[in-house]
Amino acid sequence: MILELKNIQKSFGEKCVLSGISFRAESGKAFGLLGRNGAGKTTSIRILMDVFPAEDGCVLVDGKPIDYRQIKIGYLPEERGLYPKKIILDQLVYFAQLKGMRRREAVKSVDYWLERLGMMEYRNKRLDTLSKGNQQKIQLITALAHDPDIVILDEPFSGLDPVNAILLKDVVKEQISRGKIVLFSSHQMSYIEEFCDSIAILNAGKVAIHGDLREIKRNYVRDRLVVRTVSPESLRAEFGEACTVLENGDLLIQLASPEEKKHTMKHIVEHYDVDEVRVYEPSLNDIFVEYAGDAPKED
Amino acid sequence: MRQFGTILSFELKSYFKNKVFVGITVFLVALIAIVMCFPRISAMFASDEADAAEVASEDKSIMLIKAQTEEQAMLTEELFSAVFTDYEIRGTGDDISAIQEQILSGEAECAFVMTGDTSYTYYVNNLSMYDMNAEIANEVLQKLYQMNAMMESGITPEKTASIMSIEITGSVENLGVDQMDNFFYTYIMIFALYMVILLYGQMVSTNVATEKSSRAMEVLVTSAKPTAMMFGKVLASCLAGLMQLVAVFGAALLFYQLNKSYWGGNIIVESIFNIPPALLVYMLVFFVLGFLIYAFLFGAIGSTATKLEDINTSTMPLMFLFIIAFMVVVFSMSSGNIDNAAMKVCSFVPFTSPMAMFTRIAMSTVPWYEILISIGILIGSTIGVGVISAKIYRVGVLLYGTTPKIGAILKAVWRH
């Protein structure tokens, strides 16, 4: 299954929130939707979920307009919250029923997920008696209980302790392996890098960059070298301001152009005592800062 | 449709699990049971009361009569004893200041000091709103004067007596409805509608605003259609309200039947329990539609509130509209002029017609086509208001921050 958002436009009043958003996600893969606060991620997700319509553009599944009666979507919103005063089982079954499940299968599925996430003992308790992390696990069940085809997780790891984070990672991996489209929205780049094959970075309502994450990294301007050496001083003396020290002590050398890469590498190996010289591959964080940092780059 | 059913049953269950809702219902049922059993309970103490009544007869308050002549004293004392049965009539020859003193000290309650055949001064310490003594005295003295005058002009006492005691026989053929008969149950229905709409309207508002402030809305709005949400919620509250009313009125009817003999054919109570079935149907129709149209608006308002505290301020204009409608109806009811121009207009305006048209049907004669038009307008408007409210709801629930202005919301609704 292929999910596509094509040229989505949306404005609230005079303010244009999305101007021509397009991206594509495939089943069995995780997709990272990134952007700073107010970049248009939540609006894109709401349009995808048919909370409100787009002014222009369309949402397609396998090339056809999405049929919400056929395609089930699970959503873990960034703004968490359910009914604090109601019994956990009651509200989870209610949400699963709203998504089209029959009561009996809803109860069965909710019980499976409560067991899976180690929450069975809270089944008949009120939500507000739980800790924040456990409430988040309950909220996750609302996104998964009805066995959705598309799972949208907005900041899924925030507020989870390391043990629960591992539990959630397993769940996400399982969803991916079961052929679901998993759509991630997060500011925690490490998780995106770990799960997502492709990403889209939104900036001020536009897609600043999108595509396969490895490809994006590979196509990144290769004009920086990482050098590991026991005597960094001599190198720093030669390269001056172009040479900075990374957190792990390695040196980062900025080249004037990517064409100098080969020649400079050869020069360093021949004249200095180095353990390693390689082309610097940007982290997702670098890419994010570059593309989401300021006004969108013109393509 | 299935979504609507799921929401309806979830919301309805929430009402039945709500301790406050259950508590109020049980309290009201218990209260009405006690009220309906009251004559039976008081009959249990009747024997004690009878004894007390005997004691009380010896303790009647004293009415002093000061006449000008002995003959006048005899006649007035005799006649006053016959009509003022609650008083012990006592003739007096004391002067006015002594009489005043007796009244002020509480020795006597009041006094009639005759100043002529047809004039007197009535002395009383505190003139109660319900003190009819002077009016009764006027009537008695007028009759006495007329009788004397007739006898003086040669008419025999027997003839005089028969003239004075002539009784008029007449019968009333009411071709419409008896307002007196219908007044009480109309009033009860209007008041029940008023209470239920205010109470449940606020509940719907608070319910929506709570979902918004707890952010449960984030999941809800992506799980269910806003029309299903709005109609499910509002119909659930309507059903809960109706069930509560049925419980209360059912208890009233049950306990009335159990204690019927003790009520001794009390006209007011009997009129309440003898509502014509057709009127009950009208009551149900106007009740449901009136409830829904207001509850939809309360729901829409709740969706625009960002904090629970804002609800009271936001719902104020709607409350005023409703209270004005209630006032127009209640004033028209007590004025007796049910079909006045204001009521006629109100009985077609959707927000006032549930109360106004029902009152007109119950207490006057309304052509069938007017009823039909009124119900038609109300049904159309209720559906319209429901759909618009659902749209406001969809826009409103996702707006956080300051409460948006009504114009901005309507613009956004229009755009969607």
Q: How far is A255 from chain B (nearest CA, A)?
A: 48
The pLDDT of residue B364: 84
The pLDDT of residue B182: 77
Q: How far is A64 from chain B (nearest CA, A)?
A: 21
Contact state of A52 with B219 under an 8 Å Cβ cutoff: no
- Which amino acid, B364? S
Cβ contacts of A77 on chain B, cutoff 8 Å? 215, 218-219, 222
The pLDDT of residue A5: 92
Cβ contacts of B221 on chain A, cutoff 8 Å? 51
Residues 209-238 of B with CB under 8 A from A: 211, 214-224
Comparing B251 with B176, which gets the higher pLDDT? B251
Q: Does A75 touch chain B (CB under 8 A)?
A: yes
Nearest CA in chain A to B226: A51
Q: Is the pLDDT of residue B274 over 80?
A: no
- Percent above pLDDT 70 for chain B: 92
Contact between A200 and A31 under an 8 Å Cβ cutoff? The reply is yes
Look up tokens 């659902």; give the residue.
B390
Mean pLDDT of all residues in chain A? 89
Closest residue to B3, CB basis, from A84, A90, A98? A98
Closest residue to B10, CB basis, from A73, A80, A94? A94
Give the count of alpha carbons within 13 A of A158, CB side only.
14
Nearest CA in chain B to A77: B218
> From CA B211, how far away is CA B218, in angstroms rounded?
9
Nearest CA in chain B to A49: B222
The pLDDT of residue A295: 54
Q: Does A86 touch chain B (CB under 8 A)?
A: yes
Contact state of A81 with B221 under an 8 Å Cβ cutoff: no
- Conformation bin of residue B86: beta by default, left when phi > 0, alpha when psi is -120 to 50: alpha
Nearest CA in chain A to B13: A90
Q: Does A95 touch chain B (CB under 8 A)?
A: yes
- Conformation bin of residue A287: beta by default, left when phi > 0, alpha when psi is -120 to 50: alpha
The pLDDT of residue A240: 87
Closest residue to A77, CB basis, from B219, B411, B412? B219
CA distances (Å), B143 to each of B78, B123, B167, in order?
14, 22, 14
Cα–Cα nearest to A207, from A108, A297, A103: A297
Q: In the predicted model, what is the mean pLDDT of residues B158-165?
A: 82
Largest CA distance in chain A: 74
Closest residue to B216, CB basis, from A82, A97, A100? A82
Cα–Cα nearest to A154, from A245, A239, A81: A81
Residues 201-260 of A with CB under 8 A from B: none
Q: Does A80 touch chain B (CB under 8 A)?
A: yes
User: Mind listing the pLDDT tens digit for each residue in B209-263?
Assistant: 888 888 888 888 888 888 888 889 899 999 998 898 889 888 988 888 888 777 7
The pLDDT of residue B196: 86
Q: Is the pLDDT of residue B100 over 60?
A: yes
- Which amino acid, A281? E
> From CA A275, how far away is CA A230, in angstroms rounded?
8
Strand partners, A15: A12
Comparing B257 with A151, which gets the higher pLDDT? A151
Pick among B222, B393, B416 to test the A interface (most A CBs inside 10 A): B222
User: Mind listing the pLDDT tens digit for each residue in A239-282?
Assistant: 888 888 888 888 999 988 888 888 999 999 988 888 999 998 88
The pLDDT of residue B400: 67
User: In the structure, what pLDDT confidence band is assigned to residue B58 with cuts at 50, 70 and 90?
Assistant: low
The least confident of A143-152, A209-218, B377-386 is A209-218
User: Mind listing the pLDDT tens digit for each residue in A103-133?
Assistant: 999 999 999 999 999 999 999 999 999 998 8
Q: In the predicted model, what is the mean pLDDT of residues A278-297?
A: 78
User: Mind listing the pLDDT tens digit for each residue in A175-194?
Assistant: 999 999 999 898 888 888 88
Q: Is the pLDDT of residue A297 over 50?
A: no
Residues 101-130 of A with CB under 8 A from B: none
Q: Is the pLDDT of residue A56 over 50?
A: yes
Contact between A116 and A132 under an 8 Å Cβ cutoff? The reply is no
The pLDDT of residue A22: 92
C-alpha dihedral (A201, A202, A207, A210), degrees to nearest 10: 10
User: Mind listing the pLDDT tens digit for each residue in B361-387?
Assistant: 888 888 999 999 999 999 999 999 999
Q: How far is B405 from chain A (nearest CA, A)?
A: 13
Q: Is the pLDDT of residue B167 over 80?
A: yes
> From CA B129, how far away is CA B375, in angstroms rounded?
43
Q: How far is A150 from chain B (nearest CA, A)?
A: 13
The pLDDT of residue B13: 92
Angle, alpha carbons B315-B318-B322 (nearest 5°): 135
Look up tokens 């509200």; give the residue.
A91
> From CA B37, how far away is CA B256, in angstroms rounded?
7
The pLDDT of residue B273: 77
CB count, 10 Å around CB of B168? 4
Q: Does B318 touch chain A (CB under 8 A)?
A: no
Cα–Cα nearest to B342, from B354, B326, B359, B329: B329
Cβ contacts of B4 on chain A, cutoff 8 Å? none
Cβ contacts of B215 on chain A, cutoff 8 Å? 77, 79-81
- ipTM of the prediction: 0.79
Contact state of A75 with B398 under an 8 Å Cβ cutoff: no
Q: Is the pLDDT of residue A87 over 90?
A: yes
User: In the structure, what pLDDT confidence band is assigned to residue A298 with cuts at 50, 70 and 90?
Assistant: very low
Q: In the predicted model, what is the mean pLDDT of residues A187-205?
A: 87
Nearest CA in chain A to B210: A83
Cβ contacts of A86 on chain B, cutoff 8 Å? 14
Q: How far is A193 from chain B (nearest CA, A)?
A: 27
Q: How far is A104 from chain B (nearest CA, A)?
A: 13
Q: In the predicted model, what is the mean pLDDT of residues B175-190?
A: 77
For residue B271, give every residue at least 6 positions away whose Cβ sits within 8 Å of its Cβ, in sequence order, or none: B181, B182, B184, B185
Question: What is the interface size between A and B, counted as CB pairs within 8 Å?
Answer: 58
Comparing B180 with B57, which gets the higher pLDDT? B180
> From CA B318, how far away is CA B335, in angstroms rounded?
26
The pLDDT of residue A299: 41
The pLDDT of residue B53: 52
> From CA B40, how far away is CA B262, in angstroms rounded?
6
Contact state of A81 with B3 under an 8 Å Cβ cutoff: no
> From CA B212, how far away is CA B306, in angstroms rounded?
7
Contact state of B394 with A97 under an 8 Å Cβ cutoff: no
Q: Is the pLDDT of residue B197 over 90?
A: no
Strand A30-35 relative to strand A181-185, pairing: parallel
Contact state of A49 with B6 under an 8 Å Cβ cutoff: no
Q: Is B138 helix (H, G, I), strand (E, B) or coil?
A: helix
- Percent above pLDDT 90 for chain B: 22
Mean pLDDT of all residues in chain B? 85
Alpha-helical (H) ranges within B45-129 are 46-58, 70-83, 96-105
The pLDDT of residue B212: 84
For residue B79, give every residue at least 6 positions away whose Cβ sits within 8 Å of its Cβ, in sequence order, or none: B140, B144
Q: Does A58 touch chain B (CB under 8 A)?
A: no
Q: In the predicted model, what is the mean pLDDT of residues B302-327?
A: 85
Nearest CA in chain A to B397: A51
C-alpha dihedral (A56, A15, A18, A148), degrees to nearest 10: -90
The least confident of A261-270, B28-37, B177-186 is B177-186
